[in-house]
Structure 1
Amino acid sequence: MHDFIYNALPGKVVFGCGKLASVKEEVAAMNSGKALVLCTPEQRELAEQVSDLLGELSAGVYDKAVMHVPIETAHAGGDEASRVKAGCTVAVGGGSTIGLAKAIALHQGLPILAIPTTYAGSEMTPVWGITKDGIKTTGRDQNVLPETVIYDPELVTSLPGFITGPSGLNAIAHCVEALYAENANPIISMLAEEGIRAIARSLETAVNEPENLDARSDTLYGAWLAGASLGAVGMSLHHKLCHTLGGSFNLPHAEVHSIVIAYATAYNTPNAQDAIQRVARAMGCDKPEDAPKALHQLVKAVCNKTSLKELGMTEEDLDKAADIAASNPYYNPRPVTREGMRALLGDAFDGREPSVA
């Protein structure tokens, strides 16, 4: 067994159908005063419901969260928290809303209670991201890790299939990267493999039968494991590529992750055989070399868009994206080259079946 260091991340998880009703009790337990409820404009109704459940502990609803957390949005959210004298935030939604809560926590120290309504996994990580001048910057800070997370499978039954599929693949991507992370360890590897298995076996049912609470519970459970895995270890090629594509070309977060993961896995397979063997096992494959194709097949089964071209990227963007991805050295099992990134992005642009070189 390899040497390793494992740091358990603090935090309370409340999991189960109907657990949204416990939000007031959980905010009170945080002992941070009134909470500003954050959401996107589309989730205003649910945020209002949460605000009503909070009663006198609500400082109001702020519905300006947007994708990739532009710095202007982060500043405006912080200003609103100060205006209403909030002592904490309740983030109701996916990665955009939880990202806004993290940006506020980063600059103002307000603790977070997260109520995920997607499978993004951000609620379990100390990773923040803010976009400025078209470049998304990420970092890690324990102060942005939510203190409490309420997982209620009933809240994701209304998640449409075209969001459920990419969001679930996004969570699988977190698990895959955790398996070959520079600081991977046996505990996180067990969580990550189980996370892939739970989502892979239930995601197609969740897409086709959105009211199926067993499938929704399974996928949400997998997303929790995915977020916890990603939060405990570092990120590599897949996430760096997706942050480039999202921050620099404004492509949708989950959809980018769902498309890129098969190609990033194929790229890394020759240099991360043990990790990719775990992916293959969780996906029901016999060999590591089969894992990228299995991921690609799942994408085709649950996602409406399966290529970067369909997301609105242009062929002219590919060279710039390859330049950005290869410009800053970072850990990855296989060395990141400009040529390799251009080939990977070309395959993802056309949605071709991934191949292991």
Structure 2
Amino acid sequence: MALNFDHETLGQRVCFGAGQATSNLKAALAALEATKVMVIAGDFELPMAKRILSDIEVAVWHSDVVMHVPVETAEAARKIAAENNIDALVSVGGGSTTGLAKAVALTSGIPIIAVPSTYAGSEATNVWGLTEAARKTTGVDNKVLPAVVIYDSELTLSLPVEMSVASGLNGMAHCIDSLWAPKADPINAAMVVEGIRALAAGLPKIIADPTGIPGRDEALYGAYLAAVSFASAGSGLHHKICHVLGGTFNLPHAQTHATVLPYVLAFNAPFAPEAEKRAAVAFGTATALEGLQKLRAEVNAPEKLADYGFSADGIAEAVSIILEKVPANNPRPVTAENLSELLTAALNGTDPAALSTQN
């Protein structure tokens, strides 16, 4: 088979090791020669952040973290960073925390050291997102790519099992969406396969032993591969849908991704047989949907958008916004009719295998 593709690899240092967050963070700050550090951590993660940085000098502790990064929240953080002459940002937490650090870096160029406590994956991408007037806008800029990512699976122990599952399936969404995203290529597809395998192996271990490191290590590793593949491949249909549901309807990020994923997979898979086959091989099942649904049942995954505040009244508005954002190369033509069917099924938690495969 002849190969023809253009792949860009992002430059980023990754430090991976349970119980090593403090030592790795010290080394990373020293390498940046940082003297004015701003730590961004939400109220839940703030005690964890203060423990990690207990003997590191911090100029600013900033905990005003809001889901989907409202523009007003970003502007306030940018102002604080400028007033304090910050020369390094340390984000400790999940996707919202990393997202706020990226918003500051976007306009200032201040380097980020990301210390994730979830499986969101934002730390490994150069994608930023801001919400204004109930509309979420995303973009790509290398200024927002964290210079260093410090993975310490001990930090994920504070994440409840239910959220670990949702966050891990958010990582799985990065994998599957990358198979048919605008810049999908054989290199990011190879990372997708290993990412799916690692997440599918790690998440059940977290269920079986929530305080165990092996399962969380494997899930964190898988989430990183998922994010790297997503950063390379770009945002596909799944992410366009979830960004609208999150930004416009304020649905929770991880749970929304976890809920919508099987419906997008069922929607696109018949029209992308090679991509579907790769995912099926990674799951070790006859079809990708079978593997995903088997995993979702094993980990008691979120089932319907109705549980998170979405209603049928919002479907028409969501469809109109999503249709403007659908990638041109999506393997299946997207129409108001079949997109409405997808959202209705996700709203009610009906069997994704029952989605129509007609154009």
TM-score normalised by the shorter chain: which range applies?
over 0.9
Structure 2 stretches lacking a partner, 5+ long: none
What is the number of residues matched between the two proteins?
A: 352
Shift of 1:304: 5.6
Residues 98, 122 of structure 1: 8 Å contact kept = yes
Residues 207, 302 of structure 1: 8 Å contact kept = yes
Decide whether aligned partners of structure 1 residues 73 and 151 sit closer, same or farther in structure 2, where only a CA change above 3 A counts: same
Shift of 1:301: 3.3
What TM-score do you get using the length of structure 1 for normalisation? 0.95
Cα deviation 1:49-89 (Å, max 9, x = unaligned):
233242x3x21310111110000110111112123221110
Shift of 1:128: 0.2
Residues 173, 258 of structure 2: 8 Å contact kept = yes
Rounded Cα–Cα distance in structure 2 between residues aligned with 1:2 and 1:342 = 36
Aligned pairs for 1:65-214 within 5 A = 65-214=65-214
Rounded Cα–Cα distance in structure 2 between residues aligned with 1:164 and 1:12 = 24
Decide whether aligned partners of structure 1 residues 53 and 4 sit closer, same or farther in structure 2, where only a CA change above 3 A counts: farther
Alignment partner, residue 50 of structure 1? 52
Rounded Cα–Cα distance in structure 2 between residues aligned with 1:160 and 1:283 = 25
Shift of 1:183: 1.7
Aligned pairs for 1:1-357 within 5 A = 1-22=2-23, 23-54=25-56, 56=57, 58-286=58-286, 290-303=287-300, 305-331=302-328, 332-355=330-353, 357=357
Cα deviation 1:10-45 (Å, max 9, x = unaligned):
010000112212211211102243210101111110
Rounded Cα–Cα distance in structure 2 between residues aligned with 1:329 and 1:209 = 39
Shift of 1:303: 4.2
Equivalent position amino acid for 1:345 in 2: L
Equivalent position amino acid for 2:29 in 1: V
SS at match of 2:308: coil
Shift of 1:292: 2.2
Residues 87, 110 of structure 2: 8 Å contact kept = yes
Rounded Cα–Cα distance in structure 2 between residues aligned with 1:323 and 1:228 = 30
SS at match of 2:200: helix
Equivalent position amino acid for 1:148 in 2: V
SS at match of 2:352: coil
SS at match of 1:335: coil
Rounded Cα–Cα distance in structure 1 between residues aligned with 2:207 and 2:39 = 28
Shift of 1:263: 0.5
Decide whether aligned partners of structure 1 residues 304 and 271 sit closer, same or farther in structure 2, where only a CA change above 3 A counts: closer
SS at match of 1:310: helix
Shift of 1:182: 2.6
SS at match of 2:195: helix
Shift of 1:177: 1.1
Decide whether aligned partners of structure 1 residues 17 and 191 sit closer, same or farther in structure 2, where only a CA change above 3 A counts: same
Equivalent position amino acid for 1:24 in 2: K
Structure 1 stretches lacking a partner, 5+ long: none
SS at match of 1:149: strand
Percent identity, please.
42
> Where in structure 1 do 4 or more consecutive aligned residues deviate above 6 Å?
none
